Structure formats: structure tokens, C-alpha cells
A and B are shown apart, each in its own frame.
Chain A
């Protein structure tokens, strides 16, 4: 069946280091992927997205990589800051493109 999952439930990094959060998906027909950041007590916040006709997209300090061959998605955060501490979700449009399916989330902890 369809699934969007994350390899690591918790990731601890030192401030200033780069962070990489991974996500696996199983629906090869999915063509739109989104990364969200959820801080404690808040709603998910859009970070960056990528469509299946691309393999890389960059934002401010964030890069999303898409490997369709192995159905893998990653979010890279450069020079991780304490404010990056949050739960990160990858999400995939499934069900004919109307339903956004979320992965289980990765808790990113930034150590000073």
C-alpha cells in the first residue's frame, strides 16, 4: 500500500553542523512532495517542496533531494541553528493527487 516513512525518529546535531533528514516513499506514481516543520505547540509550517520532474531544489539554508529510482527524499539543513529544533515531516500527494499523506516525522534536536 501507500506509505511515506522516515528512517530516523530522532536526530541530534551540533549547532552549526549540517542536518540530513531522510524519507522513503512507496508510491512510484506520486509526483509532488513537501517538507513541513512543526515546532512545539504549533501547526506544520511549509519549508520546501519538489515535483517529480526535478531531483534537487534549494531554498534558504535548505535543500531537498529526490531520488525516484529508490523512492527516497531528503531534507538538508545547512548550518543548523537552535531555531531549527522541531519535528520534520515529509508529505506526499497520493490518491489521484488530492490527498496529502504524511510520514511519521523526525524530531531534530540541536545541541549547543
Chain B
């Protein structure tokens, strides 16, 4: 049983394209997150939603737009992809905003 799932696992695309990554959690958690992990393994928070409301919005280009249709889903849409967007993107969830976060398997994005 997958607790936090993401699709797709791999995404290879051309510069300038628009793409979306989807995340779903079946843990009944209220809070969901998007992280970016760079080539040096550094993990940085991008966004956090609590019960479909945005609570954290780090310094992220506005080409990145999260969307939470319900509290079990948090999708990430990226417009006009750039080479520097290549990274692994992780979704996570927690029961409440200040509790243990559980991560998905990641989406490996490569922009050519």
C-alpha cells in the first residue's frame, strides 16, 4: 500500500514546455508539501498546503504553481520549463503542519 504516491516517476521534456506532476496521499493527512532536491542532494521546501490552503510559499519562480483539489492531492504545474528546473521533486504529507512528514518516491525531471 503506497502512502504517498507521485506520477510520473520520470519526466524528460524540452525547454519551454509546460508539465505537471501529481501527488496523492492515502494517510488522511491534512498537510502536503512539495520539495526540490538538487544534484547535490540538497532538499528545499517549495510549497505547503494545509487542508487545501497554501501556508508556505518559498522563493520559487511563479512558473511553478501548486494546486490542491482536495486535501489528499497536491499537484505541481510548471510553465516554460528551464534547464535549471532539472531536479528530483518530492511530495510529502503530515498529519498536521508541524509533525513528521512522509515522502513520496520522487519525480525525476530532466529538461533538455
Contacts and interface: CB of A to CB of B under 8 A. Distances in A.
Given A98-B48, A98-B56, A43 B97 contact: no
Contact of B105 (A43, A95, A98): A43
Interface stretch (B14-22, B38-46, B59-67, B79-87): B38-46
Nearest to B88: A43
A44 B43 contact: yes
B103 interface: yes
6 nearest interchain CB pairs?
A43-B103, A97-B98, A102-B43, A44-B103, A98-B97, A105-B41
Interface in B57-112: 90, 92, 97-98, 100-106
Contacts of A89: 43
B27 interface: no
B55 interface: yes
21 contacts: A32-B98, A34-B100, A36-B103, A41-B106, A43-B90, A43-B92, A44-B90, A45-B103, A46-B100, A46-B102, A87-B41, A93-B98, A97-B98, A98-B56, A98-B98, A99-B45, A99-B56, A100-B45, A100-B101, A102-B42, A104-B40
B25 to A, nearest CB: 12
Give the dominant DSSP class at B's interface.
strand
Interface of A: 32, 34, 36, 38, 41-46, 49, 87, 89, 93, 95, 97-102, 104-105
Contact of A43 (B44, B55, B100, B104): B104
Give the dominant DSSP class at A's interface.
strand
Interface residues of B, number: 22
B41, B92, B105: most-surrounded residue (chain A CB, <10 A): B41
A2 to B, nearest CB: 12
Contact of B48 (A38, A99, A101): A99
A43 B106 contact: yes
A90 B4 CA distance: 21
A102 B48 CA distance: 15
Contact of B55 (A41, A98, A105): A98
A8 to B, nearest CB: 14
